[in-house]
Structure 1
Amino acid sequence: MPPSTSTDGFDSTIHAPQRLRICALLDASDRAEFGFVQEQLQVSASVLSKHVSVLMDSGYLEQTKFVRNARQRVWLRLTPTGRTAYRDHVAALRAIVEQAGS
Structure 2
Amino acid sequence: MKHIITKLNPAFDHRVRLGIMSVLMLEEWVDFSSLKETLNLTDGRLASHIKALEKETYLEVRKRFIARKPNTSYRATDEGRKAFQAHLDALEALLRAGNSGQPE
Q: Is the shorter-chain TM-score for this pair beyond 0.5, marking a shared fold?
A: yes
How many residues are treated as equivalent by the alignment?
A: 97
Richer in helix (by share): 2
Q: Percent identity?
A: 25
RMSD: 1.6
Higher Rg of the two aligned structures: 2
Deviation of the 1:70 alpha carbon? 1.9
1:82 CA drift (Å): 0.2
**Any unmatched runs of 5+ in structure 1?**
1-5
TM-score (norm 1): 0.89
Q: Which one of 42, 50, 53 corresponds to residue 51 of structure 2?
A: 53
Question: TM-score, normalized by length of structure 2?
Answer: 0.88
**After TM superposition, what 4+ stretches of structure 1 lie above 2 angstroms from structure 2?**
6-9
CA distance in structure 1 between the aligned counterparts of 2:6 and 2:82, rounded to whole angstroms: 13
Is the Cα contact below 8 Å between 2:5 and 2:94 reproduced in 1? no
- Partner residue, 1:3: none
Shift of 1:8: 5.6
Cα contact 1:9–1:85 (8 A) shared by 2: no
**What per-residue deviation string (whole Å, max 9, x for no partner) do you get for residues 10-46 of structure 1?**
1011121100110001001111111101100000111
